[in-house]
């Protein structure tokens, strides 16, 4: 048999074998286990095959002690919101799916307020099912719990899950986005305007935020500790194991102390990330916007976090009560009152400087009766060099009544008799 004829026969046999198999699959509606496609895979699929990859540019700025690849970046401590390093932190840029931090925040606030519950069943609308990009392929009419949708949004960055949650809370994505923008104003996010709850930006005209604003909303989300039940998941499943979730934030698996938080990738935004990690009570947030590759954004975030943990720490200063004297009470039922020394709040300082923290006491020499319980008698100011770390009020432990004329006269007589 000639080679060409042999190939033709072989092709006919393969085609004949494939037809019954396709027909059988269609008749039995075989469901193939689904794997959520990552944002990077979606972006790569959209790129032209012959596109030339540009050489990544590493940025070394005077405000950055490290080199990174990004259009903007910031490192912030979560509890104090102190900025430790920043580069173009107020530049308005598209954030891609990092947008979902605000969506997750409003969901967590609704949960804490008792407006919704993790066990609530959510029915998928046509609008939610029709969302593109990264998704869990929700079908119109399909139901999932809030818990499952939260997992899909936080781990798999599922756009359809976000819209379903938005509709549960606000009735529609449009109203939910208005809530997002209102919350942004409340948090002091002056560089932000949201047009959707997902970060999809192919048709968005002015969906922007900044590295600084992302750090602010990230810090607010981290106040809801339950969110870490989702943002620290590496792998999980939905639909009884049929839909596989793999966290788009690779730091969850590879970086010690990671607490979250969210990745984002589109052709317009580039590769974005808000990465949070906690070690020894110090909680840091590294935001990276517009990196050239997914790997470079993770490297930038790791470098920022490493520098932060190496150079800064959260400590709780001890107030020395030995220098705090009792305060004289004029015309009171008792002659003096002992100030209550409050516990200092944790503060962020350069690592190894705790022993250099000083205290300055400002205390009233005396107070006029009556004295109320909790009345401020003075302050303790904690300082590190010239920097004020905090100011604590010294207060009255209890109330002290004022002497009446008769009580004062009797006290005078006793004094004279003694």
375-393 per-position pLDDT tens digit: 999 999 999 999 999 999 9
pLDDT of residue 297 exceeding 60: yes
**Would you list the domain boundaries of the chain?**
39-312, 321-417
Task: List all residues 6 or more positions away from 320 whose beta carbon is below 8 Å from its beta carbon.
Answer: 359
- Check residue 69 and give its pLDDT: 96
Q: Taking the CA of residue 290 as centre, how many other CA atoms within 13 Å lie in the half-sphere pointing to its CB?
A: 20
Cα 88 to Cα 202: distance, rounded to the nearest angstrom: 24
pLDDT of residue 347 exceeding 90: yes
**Mean of the pLDDT values across residues 109-132?**
97
- Whether the link from the prior residue into 370 is cis, omega within 30° of 0, is yes
**Mean of the pLDDT values across residues 289-314?**
97
Least confidently predicted of 2-16, 126-140, 283-297, 354-368 = 2-16
Least confidently predicted of 14-18, 132-136, 137-141 = 14-18
pLDDT of residue 28 exceeding 70: no
The β-bridge relationship of strands 312-315 and 143-145 is: unpaired
- Check residue 196 and give its pLDDT: 97
pLDDT of residue 318 exceeding 80: yes
CB 304 within 8 A of CB 254: no
Which residues participate in catalysis according to the annotation? 97, 100, 157
Cα 306 to Cα 364: distance, rounded to the nearest angstrom: 45
Three-state secondary structure string covering 404-416? CHHHHHHHHHHHH
pLDDT of residue 22 exceeding 70: no
Mean of the per-residue pLDDT values for the chain?
Answer: 89
**Mean of the pLDDT values across residues 191-218?**
97
Question: Can you identify the CATH homologous superfamily of domain 39-312?
Answer: DD-peptidase/beta-lactamase superfamily (3.40.710.10)
- Check residue 56 and give its pLDDT: 83
pLDDT of residue 208 exceeding 50: yes
**Mean of the pLDDT values across residues 344-360?**
94
Task: List all residues 6 or more positions away from 195 whose beta carbon is below 8 Å from its beta carbon.
Answer: 177, 204, 205, 206, 207
Beta strands across the sheet bearing 235-238: 34-35, 243-246, 235-238
Q: Which residue's entry shows tokens 């790791």?
A: 302
- Check residue 418 and give its pLDDT: 62
Q: What letter would DSSP give residue 378?
A: E
322 vs 255 pLDDT, higher one? 255
Tell me which CATH code domain 321-417 carries.
2.60.410.10
The β-bridge relationship of strands 143-145 and 339-340 is: unpaired
């Amino acid at each position: 048999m000639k080679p060409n004829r042999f190939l033709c026969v072989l092709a006919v046999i393969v085609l004949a074998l494939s037809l019954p198999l396709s027909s059988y699959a269609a008749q039995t509606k075989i469901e193939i286990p689904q794997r959520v496609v990552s944002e990077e895979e979606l972006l790569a699929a959209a790129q032209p095959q012959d596109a030339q990859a540009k050489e990544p540019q590493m940025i070394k700025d005077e405000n950055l002690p490290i080199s990174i690849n990004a259009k903007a970046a910031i490192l912030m401590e979560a509890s104090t919101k102190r900025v430790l390093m920043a580069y173009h932190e107020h530049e308005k840029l598209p954030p891609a799916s990092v947008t979902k931090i605000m969506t997750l925040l409003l969901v967590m606030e609704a949960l804490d307020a008792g407006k919704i519950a993790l066990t609530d069943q959510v029915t998928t609308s046509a609008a939610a099912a029709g969302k593109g990009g990264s998704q869990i392929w929700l079908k119109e009419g399909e139901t999932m719990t809030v818990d499952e949708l939260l997992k899909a949004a936080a781990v798999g960055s599922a756009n359809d899950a976000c819209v379903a949650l938005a509709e549960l809370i606000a009735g529609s994505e449009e109203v939910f986005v208005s809530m997002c923008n209102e919350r942004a104003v409340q948090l002091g996010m002056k560089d932000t305007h949201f047009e959707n709850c997902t970060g999809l930006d192919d048709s968005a005209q002015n969906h922007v935020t900044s590295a600084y604003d992302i750090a602010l909303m990230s810090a607010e989300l981290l106040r809801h500790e339950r969110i870490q039940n989702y943002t620290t998941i590496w792998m999980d499943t939905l639909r009884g194991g049929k839909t596989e979730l793999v966290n788009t934030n690779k730091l969850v698996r590879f970086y010690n102390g990671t607490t979250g938080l969210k990745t984002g990738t589109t052709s317009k935004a580039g590769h974005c990330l808000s990465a949070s990690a906690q070690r020894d009570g110090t909680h840091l947030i590294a935001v990276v916007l517009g990196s050239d590759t997914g790997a470079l954004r993770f490297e930038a975030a790791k470098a920022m976090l490493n520098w932060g943990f190496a150079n800064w720490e959260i400590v709780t200063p001890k107030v020395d009560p030995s220098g705090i004297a009792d305060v004289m009470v004029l015309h009171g039922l008792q002659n003096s009152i002992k100030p209550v020394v409050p516990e200092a709040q944790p503060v962020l300082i350069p690592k190894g400087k705790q022993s250099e923290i000083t205290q300055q006491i400002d205390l009233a020499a005396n107070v006029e009766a009556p004295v109320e319980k909790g009345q401020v008698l003075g302050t303790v100011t904690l300082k590190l060099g010239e920097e004020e770390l905090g100011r604590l009020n010294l207060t009255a432990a209890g109330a002290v009544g004022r002497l009446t004329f008769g009580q004062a006269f009797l006290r005078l007589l006793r004094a004279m008799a003694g």
